[in-house]
Amino acid sequence: MMLNYGEVKNFQFRKDPSSYSSKDAILYALALGYGEDPLDERQLRYVTEADQCVAPTMPVVFCHPGFWIKEAQLGLDWRKFVHVSQRLRLEGPLASSGTITSNTYNAVVADRGEGKGAIIVQRREMSNQSDGQLIAVIESTYLARGDGGFSAADGHSDPLPETAGAAPRSGAPDAVVEIQSLPQAALLYRLSGDFNPLHVSPSAATAAGFPRPILHGLCTYGMAARAVLASFCDYDRSRLKEIYARFSAPVFPGENIRVEMTRTSHNIVNFEASVRSRETAVLKDGWARID
């Protein structure tokens, strides 16, 4: 079955709200490594109840749309569906607990051509249930590797989206942060809602072609955001306004992640994350907009 443009473009996502507690926010922050220095009071605000802050990237775990790509009417080859990039725009800081609602839709369904796959950009507009205040807009870009050429049937396809990635960095970075991920990082991160066995089951990881379970890409993304907060925002979550990165390779829990950052203008920081022991970039073309 071929990708059905109309069905994918107009798919009605479930609107289940996400409620979270202070404890949920702490678990999320611990999975990203906040609190690794137990004497750093700036980090402790994210992992204790005293004057608690919520890690700014936490909206990415709210209102998960479920495994929608398996719906038969969409015509997607879900086995070849890959999350390629993530963009988060923050409209305001999260309270330490609350309930979030989401308006989720596929903003772009674009054909790259036969054998080249299709691009789907999913947008989630997230608001506080209590007052309707917009808190974040999330854009997740996916490559449907097995679905290129679908527009040949009826001519329907959106234009390919513009590249959102940063220009390549040159010269020495302005800041470098080494993050030692916990061996149990994926076991912690899954408690925020992503229970894909690929991240915890050795047999599932082997079946997918990996030697062992891999870390959630959005966990690595959150770690990179923490590096930007530490280096350029003094851990002030309100100063991070937007962050983008492209997923280029998985991280295995327990690996050391090196985040190199360059401030290219007053409010833009470009970054790349890599696992030096494998000489592998895991996040590319990253940028953050800060105050």
Residues 29, 158: Cα–Cα separation, whole Å:
37
Cα–Cα distance, 202 to 4 (Å, whole number): 35
User: How far apart (Å, rounded) are the C-alpha atoms in residues 149 and 151?
Assistant: 6
What DSSP state is assigned to residue 148? Answer: T
Residue 147 CA to residue 140 CA, distance in Å, equals 18
Q: What is the DSSP string of 21-35?
A: -HHHHHHHHHHTTTT
3-state secondary structure 165-233: CCCCCCCCCCEEEEEECCCCHHHHHHHHCCCCHHHCCHHHHHHCCCCCCCCCHHHHHHHHHHHHHHHHC
Active site residue 131: no
AA identity, residue 41 = E
Is 199 one of the catalytic residues? Answer: yes
Question: Among the options 24, 64, 147, 199, which is catalytic?
Answer: 199
User: Residue 23 has which token pair?
Assistant: 């404890």
Choice among 77, 83, 174, 194 that is catalytic: 194
216-233 CB burial, b ≥16 within 10 A, e <16: bbbbbbbbbbbbbbbbbb
Catalytic residues: 194, 199
